[in-house]
Amino acid sequence: MKETIDSLRFRITKRFGTKTVLQDFALEVRGKQFITFLGPSGCGKSTALNIIAGLIPATEGEVWIDGERITHLPPEKRGLGMVFQNYALFPHMTVFVNIAFGLQLQRRPADEIRRRVQEMLELVQLPAFEDRYPGQLSGGQQQRVAIARALVLHPRLLLLDEPLSNLDAKLRIEMRAEIKRLHTSLGLTSIYVTHDQVEALSLSDWVVVMKDGILMQQGPPQEIHDQPVSVFVADFMGFRNFFPAKIAALGPDRDVEAVGNGLRIRGKTRHAFSSGASVVAAIRPDDVVIGGNPADPNSFRGKVDIVEYLGRENETILTLENGSRLWVRAAVCMVPGDNVTVVLPQDRVIFLPAEGTGEVT
Amino acid sequence: MRRGRPGEPSELDLMAIACLLPSFLYVLVMFVYPFFYGVFQSLHPLKVDGFSLANYIAFFSDEYQYKTVAITFRLAVPNTIIVVAFGLLFAYSMRRGILLERTITTILVLPISLGVILLSQGILGFYGGKGWLNQMLLGLGIIEEQLVLTHNFTGVMLSLFMQQFPFCFLMLLGYISGIDPSIENSARTLGATPWTVFRRIMLPLIAPGLAIAFALVFVMSFATFPSAILLGQPTGATRTIAIAAYAQAFEMFDMPYASAIAVIMGLFQLAGLLVIILLRKRMVTAATMGVGKR
Domain that holds residue B166: 63-282
Q: How many domains does chain B have?
A: 1
Q: Are residues A88 and B185, on separate chains, in Cβ contact within 8 Å?
A: yes
Q: Tell me the percentage of chain B whose pLDDT exceeds 90.
A: 71
Domain membership flag for residue B294? no
pLDDT of A356 reads: 52
Single pTM value for the model: 0.84
Domain membership flag for residue B135? yes
pLDDT of B6 reads: 53
Q: pLDDT digits over A265-315, tens only?
A: 999 998 888 888 999 999 999 999 998 888 888 999 999 999 999 888 999
Chain A nearest C-alpha distance from B192 (Å): 6
Nearest CA in chain A to B208: A92
Domain membership flag for residue B245? yes
| Mean pLDDT score, B98-114 | 86
Q: pLDDT digits over B194-245, tens only?
A: 999 999 999 999 999 999 999 999 999 999 999 999 999 998 889 999 999 9
pLDDT greater than 50 at residue A40? yes
Q: pLDDT digits over B48-96, tens only?
A: 888 999 999 999 999 999 999 999 999 999 999 999 999 999 999 999 8
Domain membership flag for residue B95? yes
Q: Are residues B186 and A84, on separate chains, in Cβ contact within 8 Å?
A: yes
| Mean pLDDT score, B262-290 | 82
Band of the pLDDT at B5, cuts 50, 70, 90? low
3-state secondary structure of B175: helix
| Mean pLDDT score, A98-108 | 96
- A105 chain-B contacts, CB cut-off 8 A: 190-192, 196
pLDDT greater than 60 at residue B294? no
Q: Are residues B204 and A103, on separate chains, in Cβ contact within 8 Å?
A: no
Domain membership flag for residue B79? yes
Residue among A93, A107, A115, A121 with most chain B CBs within 10 A, to mutate? A93
Q: Tell me the percentage of chain B whose pLDDT exceeds 70.
A: 92
Q: pLDDT digits over A251-276, tens only?
A: 888 899 999 888 999 999 988 888 88
Domain membership flag for residue B13? no
| Mean pLDDT score, B24-38 | 95
- B290 chain-A contacts, CB cut-off 8 A: 93-94, 96-97, 100-101, 104
* A198-202, B138-142, B173-177, B290-294: the lowest-pLDDT one: B290-294
Q: pLDDT digits over A150-163, tens only?
A: 999 999 999 999 99
Between CA A26 and CA A14 the distance in angstroms is 12
pLDDT of B112 reads: 84
pLDDT greater than 50 at residue B15? yes
Domain membership flag for residue B141? yes
- CATH number at B242 reads 1.10.3720.10
- Kindly report the average pLDDT of chain A as a whole number: 92
A-contacting residues in B 158-187 (Cβ below 8 Å): 180, 182-183, 185-187
Chain A nearest C-alpha distance from B178 (Å): 14
- B292 chain-A contacts, CB cut-off 8 A: 96-97, 100, 103-104, 110, 113-114, 117
Report the residue from B185, B188, B290 with minimal CB separation from A104.
Answer: B290
Handedness of CA A130, A132, A135, A138 (dihedral sign): negative
Chain B nearest C-alpha distance from A285 (Å): 40
pLDDT of A73 reads: 94
Chain A nearest C-alpha distance from B200 (Å): 10
- A92 chain-B contacts, CB cut-off 8 A: 204-205, 284, 287-288
| Mean pLDDT score, B131-142 | 91
Nearest CA in chain A to B190: A102
pLDDT of B281 reads: 82
Handedness of CA B154, B156, B159, B162 (dihedral sign): negative
- A85 chain-B contacts, CB cut-off 8 A: 182
| Cβ contacts of B62-71, under 8 Å, gap ≥ 24 | B65/B244, B65/B261, B67/B239, B68/B239, B68/B240, B68/B241, B68/B243, B68/B244, B69/B241, B69/B264, B69/B268, B71/B237, B71/B238, B71/B239, B71/B240, B71/B241
Give the 3-state DSSP-derived string for chain A, with helices as H, strands as E and coil as C: CCCCCCEEEEEEEEEECCEEEEEEEEEEEECCCEEEEECCCCCCHHHHHHHHHCCCCCCEEEEEECCEECCCCCHHHCCEEEECCCCCCCCCCCHHHHHHHHHHHCCCCHHHHHHHHHHHHHHCCCCCCCCCCHHHCCHHHHHHHHHHHHHCCCCCEEEEECCCCCCCHHHHHHHHHHHHHHHHHHCCCEEEEECCHHHHHHHCCEEEEEECCEEEEEECHHHHHHCCCCHHHHHHCCCCEEEEEEEEEECCCCEEEEEECCEEEEEECCCCCCCCCEEEEEECHHHCEECCCCCCCCEEEEEEEEEEECCCCEEEEEEECCCCEEEEEECCCCCCCCEEEEECCHHHCEEEECCCHHHCC
Residue among A85, A96, A97 with most chain B CBs within 10 A, to mutate? A97
For residues A121 and B291, the model is more confident at: A121
Q: Are residues B201 and A90, on separate chains, in Cβ contact within 8 Å?
A: yes
- A159 chain-B contacts, CB cut-off 8 A: 189
Report the residue from A105, A110, A150 with minimal CB separation from B294.
Answer: A110
Interface of A with B (CB under 8 A): 50, 53-55, 74-76, 78, 80-82, 84-86, 88-94, 96-97, 100-106, 110, 113-114, 117, 146, 149-150, 153, 159
- B285 chain-A contacts, CB cut-off 8 A: none
Q: Is A102 exposed, middle or buried (0-12, 13-18, 19+ CB in 10 A)?
A: buried
- How many Å separate Cα B171 from the centre of its chain? 12
- A76 chain-B contacts, CB cut-off 8 A: 188-193
- A93 chain-B contacts, CB cut-off 8 A: 288, 290
Band of the pLDDT at B248, cuts 50, 70, 90? very high
Domain membership flag for residue B84? yes
